[in-house]
A = this chain, B = another copy of it.
Amino acid sequence: MLDAEQGYGLNPSAIDQAIVSLIMKSAGNPRISVRLWNGHEFPVTNEHPVACMEFLSRRAVLKLLYSPGLGFGECYSQGLIEVHGNFLAFTNEVTRAITRKGSREYYLPRLKSTLHSLRRNSPGRSKFNAHHHYDLGNDFYRMWLDERMVYTCAYYDTPGATLAEAQVAKLDHVCRKLDLKSGQTVVEAGCGWGALAMHMAEHYGVEVKAYNISRAQVDWAREKAAARGLDKRLEFILGDYRSIEKRYDRFVSVGMLEHVGCANYRVLGELIKRCLKPEGLALIHTIGRSHPDTMDAWIRKYIFPGGHVPSLSEMMAVFEPNRFSVLDVENLRLHYARTCADWLANFETVAEKVSATYGEEFTRMWRLYLAGSSAGFQSGTLQLYQVVFAHGSNNKVPRTREYQYPGSTGID
């Protein structure tokens, strides 16, 4: 085996360039150029390169060769790889090339996903996982999320909508799908910083109980709700979804299923079965996939430990064993591509501040995570599903979906 320490600072050899070409080929030959540590630059394809990827040492080449899944993320975060040009355009192009080249294999990724899903997120493990990501500090997220601190896919109902507008439109889109009526009771599982819970209580006149296992988020949400005078109709509970009690007219969960893990889908479904009234409506909003597969190794290791992004057939483990009737599924993947791009743009404006507090490696890691997520949704590697469902015997469900589009004027 080659000694990874050998050749640092040395000029790249013909072997280095051959390995880089091999790596590019296995990534579907993206339309980028590559620069080596002696400054030598060459395009990967004949087409105009979208951006330039610079290997700052032989170590980066070898890490990508031996560990393509984790390698790029680790090298970029550590500064062993630099990207010149528009970073989002670069991640979009590389993701597009990898997806296009990607294996058409179905059964192997499905098997891997099944095996992976055997790992069960216990309440304690869930708390650890959530802490890893969501307790980074409210100050960190406030720097680049919208003012309501909504950390899930927005809904750009008009082409020119800003991130803040699109987040409000998403909250309303979810509320309309739930067909909320004043006086109803709603339980929310995994409420983040409480934006949806507050929006429902304030604008739809419902009573909300919202659960979350991140103390930093719950503290923030309670304070905001009190300041807005909503704490009479809205209670934030520091607790796991498994601790939900009583029965409600509506169940809603936005961006939690990704953390639940397949092994607990049926448990979640049973919980909803218990806590949803016979004529109730429920909505789950989650990142998904077009086909079963495991999560990106780098994301799993550094960003979302314990996470799993399900295909629709995997998600059905929430609904089918409990005989829920799935009423409506909407896929908003291109909205999430834009949401992540908007987050990234905000993030770049505060990147120096982030580096000052959390260090350069952290900033690079988050830049890659936001850009890579946007690229994942843009390329079709990731989907965003909103699923409305009800008890199988509930005949008081909306007959058509026109109620979701009260102001529709037929915009194309």
Question: Which A residues form the contact surface with B (CB < 8 A)?
Answer: 96, 99-100, 104, 106, 155-157, 290-292, 311-313, 316-317, 319-321, 323-331, 333-335, 378-380, 383, 392-395, 397-412
Contact = CB atoms under 8 A, between A and B. Distances in A.
Contacts of A395: 334, 378, 380
Nearest to A313: B316
9 contacts: A104-B323, A155-B400, A290-B323, A312-B316, A313-B313, A313-B316, A316-B316, A325-B380, A405-B405
A316 B291 CA distance: 9
Contacts of A410: 402-403, 405-407
Contact of A157 (B104, B335, B400): B400
Contacts of A104: 323
A153 to B, nearest CB: 13
Contacts of A291: 320-321, 323
A109 B388 CA distance: 24
Contacts of A402: 157, 405, 408-411
Contact of A330 (B313, B328, B394, B408): B328
Nearest to A157: B400
A401 B388 CA distance: 15
A408 to B, nearest CB: 4
A381 to B, nearest CB: 8
A156, A157, A292, A380 interface centre (most CB from chain B within 10 Å): A380
- Copy tally for this chain in the complex stands at 2
A74 to B, nearest CB: 28
Contacts of A327: 330-331
A292 B316 CA distance: 11
Nearest to A321: B106
Nearest to A330: B328
B320 A331 contact: no
A383 B312 contact: no
Contacts of A383: 325-326
A411 B398 CA distance: 10
B106 A320 contact: yes
Contacts of A313: 312-313, 316-317, 320
Nearest to A99: B393
A335 B392 CA distance: 15
A203 to B, nearest CB: 16
A158 B400 CA distance: 9
B320 A316 contact: no
Contact of A320 (B155, B290, B324, B404): B290
A402 B379 CA distance: 24
Contacts of A334: 395, 397, 399
A403 B393 contact: no
B411 A408 contact: no
Contacts of A312: 312-313, 316, 319-320, 326
A112 B323 CA distance: 17
A108 B341 CA distance: 46
Contact of A319 (B100, B290, B333): B290
A410 to B, nearest CB: 3
Contacts of A328: 329-331
Given A325-B380, A326-B329, A334-B397, 4 more contacts: A99-B393, A312-B320, A327-B330, A406-B410
Contacts of A394: 380
